[in-house]
Structure 1
Amino acid sequence: MQLRLSLLLGFICLVLMGSGQPGFLSFTVKNGLSQNAVTAIFKDSKGYVWLGTQDGLNRFDGIGFTRYKHDANDTMSISDQYITAISEDGAGNIWVGTRNGLNKFSYHSNQFERIHINPNRKNVIQYVFDQIFQIGNGNLAFVAEDQLYVWLNQQRLIKKIVGNYNDRCAYTVNDAGIWRLYKSKLYQYDLRSFIVKKIYQLAGLPGASASISKIFFDRRKKLWTVDESIEHKPKFRIFQVGSQILVSDSIQLSEKIYHLSFDSYNRAWISSLSGLLKVDSNYIPYYWRGSQLPATLNQANAVLCSYHDTAGISWVGFANNGVLLYNHTASAFTLIQPLNKTETVFSYAVDSNHNEWLAAVSGIYKRASAKNKWELVSRKKVRSLVAGDKGKLWTAIENEGLFLIYPDGRFQLIANTDNLKLPDNTIFHLHYHSGTGQLFISTKSGLVLLDTKTMLTRRYWAESLDKRYQLSGSYVLHAFTDREQRTWVSSNTGIDVFDKSLNKILQYKTNDDKASPVKRTIVTGTTQDLNGNIWIATLSNGVYKWKNGRFNQYNQDSGLSGNVVAGIMVDSLNRIWVATTSGMNLIDQNHDQILQLSEQNGMPASDFLLASFFVDKSGALLTSSSEGLVMIKPSLFIPKKLQLNCYVTDAAINFNSVPIANQYKLQSDDKSISLEIATPSFINAEKVVYQYRFLGLVDKWVTLQPNNRRISFTNLTYKSLQLEIRAAESKAQLERAPIKKIFISRKPPFWQNPFILGPMILLLLIGLLMLVRFFTKRKIKQRLQQSAIEQQIYKERERISRDLHDHLGAYAAAIKSNINQLERSDEKTNSTLHKLKENADDMVNALRETIWVLQYQEISLTALSDRFKNLVNRIRPNYPSIAIEIYENIEADKRLTPAESIHLLRMMQEVLTNALKHAECSKITIRIQVNEIAQIEMEDDGKGFEMEEVSNGFGLDNLNERASESGVSLQIFTKKGGGTRIRIVF
C-alpha cells in the first residue's frame, strides 16, 4: 500500500509547465486568420465572431476560421477585401461595410448581396461604410461619407435620414437614440420615427464637428468626444448629458487614436498607435502592460479596435498581430512566485501578526504585512505550514520533523523520531485547532496529536491495540475540524471521524466494498460547505458529498476534469473548488453545474499538490501548485452560464457544396450527404463535446471524436429522417444541451413513386392472382387425375387380389385336398406327397400374404409385425427344439407402402427360414424396434459361417436384392461357431 501511495503522490507532484498567458488567446494568420491587420470585430446572435481585416472577412467559431474574400468573377462575393464595419439585422443577416460599398451576407445561401444605397456611387472606387449600428427592432443605422441611413428590417428597405456628402459630422448610438454631432450642436434622433427629439448646444466648442472626429457613449450614458484638431495629440472630453451637456472631465493623449470601447465594468479601452490604453475611474489613462500579459500588449504594437461581448470576453484587434482574446474571469486569479519564476510551492500560511509565509522548493519565504516583497527566511525544504498563536508558525521540514518558527525567525525542533515524539519524519499536513491548542500532524505512520501547551503527543494508527486510538489506515494525509467540532482524518484506507473529545464516532473504510460507499481509493482531504455538508477528496474516485450519512459522488462522468483530486475547499459563495492533477474545477451548487477551469479561464496553473488549499482572512483561496501559489478571489469569478448552440457550418451532397438549411432533400441518385457542425465557443473550445443521432436510423446519441465535427451518411433510405445535433462543454452537460433538428429526405426512384407504385402493385397483384389461379386449377386437375389413377390402381389391386383368391387360391386348396386323399390311399407315396403338401401350404400362405398386402394403400409397421408374429406362431410347433423369442418396442409407428411391406416380410421370412433349417441353433431372438429410426434384428446362436466362403447359399443374394429394391440397409454379422446376426435398418 505504501508503494502504491508513494507512486500516486509522486504523480501529483509532477511539474506541468503551462504555455502562454492565463486568460489570453492569440489568433493570427498561423491559425487561419486571413490577415493580421484586424479592423473590425462583431459577435452575431448565433455566437460566431466576425473579424474584418485589411485583406478579407473571417467568421470564427473558436476552433477554425471561415474566410470570405472578394472575387472579381463572382458577383455574390464580398465587394472589397478591406473591412471597415460589421453588424447584424433582425433577420440574422450579417451586414459588412467595406472600403468599396455595403454588403449583406445570408447564412442560408452562404453568399453576399451588394447593397447600392446611392446608385450614383455604384462605380466609385472609394465608397467607405465606416460605421454600422444596431438600433433596435432588428433595424440598423449606416454611416457613409457623413450621411446616415437606416435599414428597416420589417419593410426590408433602406432609408436616408440625414447628412450631406462630405459635410463633416460624427455619429453614435445608444438606447436613448441616434446621436449626430454637427458643427457645434448635438442632435438626438428618435429610434423609431428618426425625427429629431432634442438639440443640445456644446458650450465652449464652436464648430465642434470640424475638430471632433468621433463620438461615443459609455455604459453610464456619458458622452466621449475625440478632438483630433492637433495631429497625433488627441483630446478626450467627457460630457454629462442631462437637461444640458456639461464637460465633466478631459484626457490628453500623445498619439493617434483609432477606436474607443467600453467593457461591462464601464472601463474605457482606447485603441492607439502605441498599444492598448485603459482609463481608470479617475479618468487616468494607462497602457495595459505587465509581466503576466502577452508580448503583443507589452510592446508598442498598434491596436486598431476592441470589442466586448456579452459572455465577458474582450477582443483586441492589432494592426499586425491578429486578434487577442481576453477572458475577464482571469482577474480572479493571481500567480504568486517569490522569485518571479516558475517553481513548486508546497504551503502557505498567515500568522497572527498578519505576516504571510510561503514554502517553496527554493525555501521558506516571508512577506511582512507592511511590505510587498517576499524575503527568504531559510533554505530548508518545508512541506507544510500552519499558523499558531502569538505569531508563531508550525512547520514540517522534509525528513527532519516538526519545527516551531518564532516571530524573530528562530527555528526550534519540537518533534521527530529521535525524541520519539513522531513515528516518522515524513509529514504530509499540519492542522491547528486554535480553540483547543491541539496540532494534528499527518504522517505516513499515523496521526500524531500534539498538545501545544504541554508538548505531549498521542498517536493514532491502524495497528493500535487500543481501539480508542485505532484508525482505518496509518498513511494519514489530512485532518480537518468542522464547525460542529468533529475532526475528519483522511488516510490511505478510509475516513475516521472524532468528536470534540476525540472519541471516534464514524468510520468509513475504503477497502471494504460492501460496508463503505467510498470504495477502493485513498482519501486526500475534506472540507465543509456553508450548508454543513462534508466534501471528501479522493485519489481515484473524484469527490463525495456527505450529508447526514448519505453520499453523492462527483467524478469525470459528472464533469470533473479528472478523478485524481489533490485538494478541496469551499468559497464564500458556497462553491466547491476541486484541485486535480489535470486542472482546477468548480462545483457550483447554486447553478447545478461543474466548470473545468484552464489557462483560458485565467487559471495560471494546471497541476496542484496534495493538501493544497488555504484561506486567508479576506476570503481569498490560495492553492499550491507546480507553477507557484495561486490566489483565487471568488467574488471576481462569476462566470456566465452559457448554453452552447450547435449549427451546421458546411453542407455537401455527393461532395458538392450546397446552401446551409434546416432541411435537405436528396434525389434518388444522390449517394451521400455530409454536414460539418460547430458551436461557437471561445473558452476551452477544444474540449467541446459533439453528439448526433439520426432518428429512425441511429436512435442512440453518437459522440464525435475530438477534432472531428463532420457527419457523413451514404445510401440513405428513401424516406424522411430527423437528424439531431447537440454540443456541450462536457459530457455531463449534454443532457441539458439544446438540440438542433435537421430534416433530411431522399426522393425514391420514379418506380417507387406512390402514384406509379400503386397502379404497378395493383397490376402485379392482379397478375399474381391470375397466376395463382392458373397454377391452383392445374394442381387441382393434376390431383383429380392422380386420384383417378390411384383409384384405378386400387380397383386393379382389388381385382388381382380377388382373382388370386378365387382362382389360384382355389386351385392351391384343391391340390392340398387331393394330396390328403392320396396320402390316405397310398402309403408308399407318403413322403413325396408330404413334401408336395408343404409346398402347397407355402403357396397358400404366400397367396394370403400377397392378398393381404394388396388390400391396403399403406401398412403400419405394427400390422406387419403382428403378421410376422402369426407366421412365427404357425412355424414354432415344427421346431420344438429351437426357442424363438420376439421383442417388440415401437414408440412411433411407421407407415409402409405395399411394396416395402412385402419386401420386409419376405426378408424376415427368409432370415427365419435360413436360421431354422441351416443354422443348427437352439435359440432365435427377433427384435423389432422403432424410435427415430426403424430396425429389425434377427439373431441365432447357431454355427455361423464365413462371408467369403458363401456365394449364393442361404438366400443371401435374394436378401440383398430385396434390400436394394426396398431402400433399406442390410447388415450381416457372422463367423464360424459364433452364430449369425442380421439387422435391417430403414
Structure 2
Amino acid sequence: MYKKAFTIYILVTILSFAYAQDISNFAVTRLSQDDGLSQGSNYFRFEDSKGFMWITCNDALNRFDGKKVKVYNLDKYFSNCPNLQQGYGFCEDKNSNIYIGSVRGLYIYDREQDRFTLQKIFKNSIDDIAMPIAYIDNKVWCFNRQYQLATYDIKTKKISYKGKLKTKPIISIHIYELQENIFYNHYPFMDKRKNIWFIGDNEIIELNTRTLKYSYPLRDNKIKKKESYYASSYDISEDCLYLGLQNGILKYNLKSRKKSYISNVLGKILHIKANTNAIVFKDNFNLKMLNKKTKKIIVFPNIKNDDFILSYCFGFDKDNRLWMCDDGKGQKILDFTPKLLNKFPNESSKFNFLLNKSVGRFGEIDNKKIIIPLTGSDYNIMLVFDKNTNEKKIINSDLNKNSVGFDFASDYKRKGIWVFNIYKKNNSKIYELYFLNQKIETSKKIQIQNLKEFGQEQDFQVLKNGKILCTFSKGLFWFIPEEKRFEQIKLTKQINFFKINVLDQNQIAFSFLNNDMLLFDLLPDGTFKLKTKILPGIQTFYIQKDVLHKRYWVGTNQGVYLLDQNFKIIKIFNANNGLAGTYIYGLLLDDKGSAYCSHQRGISSINWQSFQVINFDKNDGIQNWDFNNRSFYKASDGTLFFGGISGLNYFNPPLYRKSNYKPEVYIDEILINNKLLASKTHNVNTLTTLNLNYDENNISIFAYVKDLAAASTRQLIFRIKENGKKWNYLTNGSAINFSNLAPNIYTLELGTYDKFTNQELVQKTLRITISAPFYHAVSFWILIASILIGAVFWWYNQKKLEKQKIHFKQQLALEMQRSKITADLHDDIGATLSSLQINSAVANQLIVHDPIEAKKVLHKIENQSKNLADKIGDIIWSMKPNNEEFMTISTRIRNFANDILGATDIEYALAIDNELNELITDITNRKNIVLFVKEAINNAAKYSQASQIKISLHIIEHKIEIQIIDNGIGFNVDEIRGNGISNMKKRILELKGEIQIISSHLKGTTILATLPIPTFRD
C-alpha cells in the first residue's frame, strides 16, 4: 500500500517539474510507402496552387492529394524524354504548370496533358543540371552547380543566359555525397519584390532580376571569420529571412535591412522554417518551435519512441501543418489544428501517459473547475480542468490511494463536489464519501454506515435545493449529509436502478436495467408520485428535456427517440437514418436543443430542427470508438463532456470543420472495357464529354475527392442525372463502375457530401454519349428499306424479264419449229404425198391391165402412208408440253422401240435416266433426240440382222450419253452413204454434240452420241 502511494507521489512530482513549460497539443501522421509513396527517403517537397503535394524521391516523382499517392514512373507520362527520378527544386507558372530540376535539365509538367517534357537549359555547361528558383514575368529562373543563371521563357521557349554568381560552386547535388552544410537547406528563393536571394555557406547574395545587379547585404569586410549559414527560411508575412547559425538564429529584415539575433535559441541550427505564427528549427537531436508572439520555445516530445533525429526539409502547408522528411520512413506531418472534438489525454500532450485511463464521471465547481476521475488497472487519479485558463492538473490527495473508482455529484448550493471513493478491502468494495470544496481541498471524509446491503452504487445527483439523491442496484435513497446517513425511499418494487435523470426541480425519471423507465413527480415533502412509463418495452437509459421546444430526447439500446410533451414518439434515430451507433452510452442537449450522444461507434449529433445526423469518428478526434455508460456532463458554460475507455472528449457546440482546403473531385483515370483511356492532348480530369461506340459500354471511372488536409474523411458522390435525384455515396477513392450501358446520352454528376451542412455539392459533370449501332439508326433502316424495295422491284422485273425471255424463246423456238415443220412438211411429207399421189395414179392404171403389179404399188402406198403418219406423230409430239407423263422422252422412246422391235425376234433392253424428262424441255431438242434414237433403232431393226439391241440414255459427268448397241452383221462405215446416217449426224450437230459410229463386218454396231447439258435448258 505504501509502495503504491509513493509511486503515485513520485509520478505527480515528476509531472509537475517536467511539464512546467507550455507544450501545445499536436497530432502526428505519416505519409509512407504503406500509403503508396515510392520511397522512404525524399528531400524536396512542393505544394502547388491546386492543392497537390509533390515529393521527389530517388526513383520517381510522387504526387499526393490527401488520399492517394500517384507515382510518375511510367513511360506514358513522359514525352520523348527519360523518366524523371530524383528532382531538385520546384516552381510553378501562372498556368499551374510545374518545373522540376534534375541532372538532365529542366522537367516541365503540363497539367492539362498530365505529361512531362525535358528542356536543356545550360547547354554549354560541364553537365546538364538545372534547378528552378522562381517564376517571374513569364520566365522560369534556373541555376546550376556553378551558380550560372538562365531564364526559360514559357511562351517563346527561348533560353537566356543571365550571368554567373561570384561564389563557391556546389560540389555535388547528390544526396549521398553531401556533407553537413547541405545546399537544399538554404535553397535560393524569391522575395515579395521579385528579387532572388542566394544563401551560400558563408555569404548571402541578392540579385535584382530587373537590373541583373548583385549585392551582398550581410557582408562585413571587417570580420575576419565569416558566419556559417546552415539553414535558411524566408517568411513572406514579415518579409524576413531567418538563418540557422552555429549558435542560434539570425533574423534579417529584407525591407529595413536590419538584423537581430533571437536570444533564447542556442546550439547549431541545422534546419529551420518559419510561418506567420512560429519558427520551427532543429539542432542535432531536438525539434523545437518558437512562438513568435510569446517568444516561448516548445520542445517537441518523442512520441511512442519516435524521435526527430532524422527529420529535416521542413515546410508548412496552407493549413499550417508542418511537413518534414523522416529519412527512410517518408513524410512526417505535425498537425497543430485542433480536432473538432477536443481529446484528453492527447498523444502529444504532457499527459500522454494517461492514455490507458478510463473516464466514468464528471463534476463541476461553480468557478468552472471540472473534476475528472481517470481510472485504470494500475492506479487512479483525479484531474482538475480549469475552464478559465484551460489548464489541467492532477489532484494530489488521499483520494487516489487504493481507489478503484469514483462517482461525482456537483453541489452548487454547498459550492463543492461530493465524491464517492470506491476501493477494495478484503475482496469487498468499501464506499467512502468525501466533499471537495471550492479550492479543491478534500474535507474530512464522512463516516457512513455499511452500504453492502444496498447493492452496487449506480448514480447520485444533487438537486438544486441541495437534496442528494442516490441509487443503488437494490434501491433509492436520500443522503442527509448533516446527519451523515442514508434514508431509503419506498418508491416501487423495482430493483437494478441505473440512472437518475433530473428533468427539472419537480420531475425525475429513473431508468432500470431490464425494466421500463419511470417518470415521477417530486412532491414538496420529498416523496415521489408515479406519472408515466416512458417507451414501455424498450430498454431506456437516459432522457433529456428540451425546454425550448417542449419535447424529450431519450437514449436507448435501440437508438435515440424524440418524444413530444405527452411522451408520444415523434421520430426514431438509428442505423436506418444514419446514426452510427445505436447503443447509447450518454445523451446531452446543447443550448439550442440539438442532441449529442455517445455510443459504441463514437459520438453523434442530431440537429433539433432539420434532424440531420452527424457522426464524429477518429478523424474528428474521438478518444476511442467505445465510450462509457453514464459518463457525460454538460458544464455551466455549455461545454459538453463525454467519457470513454481512453480518456474523454469535450467541445462547445456547434461543430464545424475549418480548413484552407476545399474538397475537389478529381478524375485520375478512366477505363473503357478495361483499357485505359489515353489522350495525347488532355488530362482526363479536364474532360467534359466522352463519346463512345455502342460496344464501348463498360466504363470504370477512378475519381476521388482531393483535400490535402482531410481527404480521408470525404465522401465521393455521383449520380446519372437522367435517372433522377438520388445520389450514390462512395468511400473516397472508390471506383465508379458502369456495365453494359445502353446506347444513350448520360450526364454523370460527381461531387462531395458535406456532413456538417448536409449538402451534396456538384463539382464535375461528364457527358457520356454511347452511340447506337448502325442498325439502330433510322437512316440505316431507310437505306435497308430502299434496298429491299429496290431488290424486290429488281427481282420482280427480273422475273418479268425472264418470263418475257422464256416467252420470246418459246415464240422463237415455236417459230423455228414452225419453219422446220414447214420445211419438213414441204420437203419430206410433201414429197411423200406427191409420191402417194403418183403411186395412186399408177395403181389405178395397173389395176385393170396388171393386177399383180398394181398390188405391189398399193403395198408401197401403204408403207408410205404409215411412214407419213409416224413423221406427223413425231412432229406433233415434239410440240406437246412436258407435263403429260405419257408424252415424256423416255415414254416416247419406249413406245416406238416397242412398235419397231416388238414385231421382230430381236431381244432389246432400254435404260433411260428419269432426270432427262425434266432436263430436256426445248421442243427442237426433244424432237432431234427422239428422231435420232428412232432412226438408229429403225436402221438396226432393218439391216443389222441382230439378235440383241441395247438402248441407253444416261447423264454422265454433266453430259448426256446416248448409246445404241447391236450384235448384228455390222457394216463398213466409210462405204455407207444413206440418208439415215446423214440425218442422224445432222441432228447431233444441231444439238452441239459429238457422234461416233463404230462398226465392222460381223462385229455389230455401236452408235455413241455425247451432248452438253446446257444445250437443253430453255
- TM-score, scaled relative to structure 2: 0.58
Contact kept? 2:243, 2:272, Cα under 8 Å: no
Aligned equivalents of 1:202, 1:494: Cα separation in 2: 78
Report matched runs for 1:410-559 at 5 Å. 411-412=445-446, 414=448, 424-433=454-463, 435-444=464-473, 448-453=477-482, 457=487, 459=489, 461=491, 475-480=497-502, 493-494=516-517, 496=519, 509-511=533-535, 520=538, 522-524=540-542, 526=544, 536-542=554-560, 544=562, 555-556=574-575
Does 1:323 find its partner at 2:335? no
Q: Give CA-to-partner distance per residue, 1:216-251, whole Å, 9 cap, x none.
A: 3436415133255xxxx2642224566553536357
CA gap of 1:594–1:493, structure 2 versus 1, over 3 A, is: same
Report matched runs for 1:548-697 at 5 Å. 555-556=574-575, 560-569=579-588, 578-585=597-604, 596-614=615-633, 622-627=641-646, 629-630=647-648, 632=650, 634=652, 639-640=657-658, 644-659=663-678, 660=684, 661-670=687-696, 672-681=698-707, 688-696=714-722
**Offset of 1:540 from its aligned partner?**
2.5
The AA in structure 2 aligned to 1:319 is: D
Counterpart of 1:935? none
CA gap of 1:75–1:357, structure 2 versus 1, over 3 A, is: closer
**Offset of 1:111 from its aligned partner?**
1.7
Please list every run of 5 or more consecutive structure 2 residues that lacks an aligned counterpart in the other structure: 1-24, 169-185, 387-391, 436-440, 679-683, 798-1018
Counterpart of 2:381? 365
Classify the secondary structure of the residue corresponding to 2:769.
Answer: strand
Contact kept? 2:104, 2:120, Cα under 8 Å: no
Please list every run of 5 or more consecutive structure 1 residues that lacks an aligned counterpart in the other structure: 1-20, 465-472, 513-518, 775-986
Which of 76-85 and 346-355 deviates more?
Answer: 346-355
Larger CA Rg, structure 1 vs 2: 2
Report matched runs for 1:574-973 at 5 Å. 578-585=597-604, 596-614=615-633, 622-627=641-646, 629-630=647-648, 632=650, 634=652, 639-640=657-658, 644-659=663-678, 660=684, 661-670=687-696, 672-681=698-707, 688-696=714-722, 700-704=726-730, 709-728=734-753, 735-749=759-773, 757=780, 759-760=782-783, 763=786
Aligned equivalents of 1:461, 1:558: Cα separation in 2: 38
Q: 1:266 aligns with which of 267, 277, 282?
A: 277
Classify the secondary structure of the residue corresponding to 2:747.
Answer: strand
Contact kept? 2:59, 2:85, Cα under 8 Å: yes
Report matched runs for 1:365-404 at 5 Å. 365-366=381-382, 372=394, 377-388=400-411, 389=414, 393-395=418-420, 397=422, 403-404=432-433
**Offset of 1:585 from its aligned partner?**
4.1
CA gap of 1:655–1:302, structure 2 versus 1, over 3 A, is: same
Aligned equivalents of 2:658, 2:62: Cα separation in 1: 26
Which of 109-118 and 366-375 deviates more?
Answer: 366-375
Aligned equivalents of 1:643, 1:558: Cα separation in 2: 27
Counterpart of 2:38? 34
Contact kept? 2:564, 2:570, Cα under 8 Å: yes
Aligned equivalents of 2:325, 2:196: Cα separation in 1: 26
Does 1:335 find its partner at 2:345? yes
Classify the secondary structure of the residue corresponding to 1:36.
Answer: coil
Aligned equivalents of 1:306, 1:404: Cα separation in 2: 54
Q: Give CA-to-partner distance per residue, 1:487-531, whole Å, 9 cap, x none.
A: 66556634747589689999775435xxxxxx9452335387999
The AA in structure 1 aligned to 2:666 is: Y
Q: Give CA-to-partner distance per residue, 1:660-688, whole Å, 9 cap, x none.
A: 23332223553533221211356775564
Aligned equivalents of 2:748, 2:188: Cα separation in 1: 46
**Offset of 1:277 from its aligned partner?**
2.8
CA gap of 1:479–1:378, structure 2 versus 1, over 3 A, is: farther
CA gap of 1:577–1:695, structure 2 versus 1, over 3 A, is: closer
Counterpart of 1:54? 58
Aligned equivalents of 1:41, 1:539: Cα separation in 2: 50
CA gap of 1:328–1:766, structure 2 versus 1, over 3 A, is: farther
Report matched runs for 1:94-109 at 5 Å. 94-109=98-113
Contact kept? 2:191, 2:239, Cα under 8 Å: no
**Offset of 1:561 from its aligned partner?**
3.3
CA gap of 1:252–1:179, structure 2 versus 1, over 3 A, is: farther
Classify the secondary structure of the residue corresponding to 2:780.
Answer: helix
**Offset of 1:480 from its aligned partner?**
3.8
Aligned equivalents of 2:549, 2:211: Cα separation in 1: 57
Q: 1:306 aligns with which of 315, 323, 333?
A: 315
Aligned equivalents of 1:166, 1:539: Cα separation in 2: 77
Q: 1:124 aligns with which of 109, 124, 127?
A: 127
CA gap of 1:583–1:367, structure 2 versus 1, over 3 A, is: closer
Aligned equivalents of 1:497, 1:178: Cα separation in 2: 78
Aligned equivalents of 1:577, 1:188: Cα separation in 2: 59
**Offset of 1:708 from its aligned partner?**
7.0
**Offset of 1:322 from its aligned partner?**
0.8
Classify the secondary structure of the residue corresponding to 1:738.
Answer: strand
Classify the secondary structure of the residue corresponding to 1:82.
Answer: coil
Aligned equivalents of 1:546, 1:203: Cα separation in 2: 79
Aligned equivalents of 1:367, 1:630: Cα separation in 2: 12
The AA in structure 2 aligned to 1:432 is: V
Aligned equivalents of 2:565, 2:26: Cα separation in 1: 36
Q: Give CA-to-partner distance per residue, 1:710-768, whole Å, 9 cap, x none.
A: 233344333332222334376x97742334211222344456567x5375166269669
**Offset of 1:573 from its aligned partner?**
11
Contact kept? 1:690, 1:703, Cα under 8 Å: yes
Does 1:280 find its partner at 2:291? yes
Classify the secondary structure of the residue corresponding to 2:658.
Answer: coil
Does 1:295 find its partner at 2:305? yes
Counterpart of 1:811? none
- Number of aligned pairs? 712
- TM-score, scaled relative to structure 1: 0.59
**Offset of 1:36 from its aligned partner?**
0.8
Q: Give CA-to-partner distance per residue, 1:133-169, whole Å, 9 cap, x none.
A: 7x8x99977666657778888x687887976357589
Classify the secondary structure of the residue corresponding to 1:295.
Answer: coil
Aligned equivalents of 2:457, 2:212: Cα separation in 1: 76
Aligned equivalents of 1:80, 1:277: Cα separation in 2: 35
Q: Give CA-to-partner distance per residue, 1:467-502, whole Å, 9 cap, x none.
A: xxxxxx9744242466x8866655663474758968
Which of 166-175 and 87-96 deviates more?
Answer: 166-175
Q: Which has the higher contact order (CA 8 A, sep 6+)?
A: 1
Contact kept? 1:139, 1:152, Cα under 8 Å: yes
**Offset of 1:428 from its aligned partner?**
2.8
**Offset of 1:252 from its aligned partner?**
5.0
Classify the secondary structure of the residue corresponding to 1:725.
Answer: strand
Classify the secondary structure of the residue corresponding to 1:436.
Answer: coil
CA gap of 1:188–1:22, structure 2 versus 1, over 3 A, is: closer
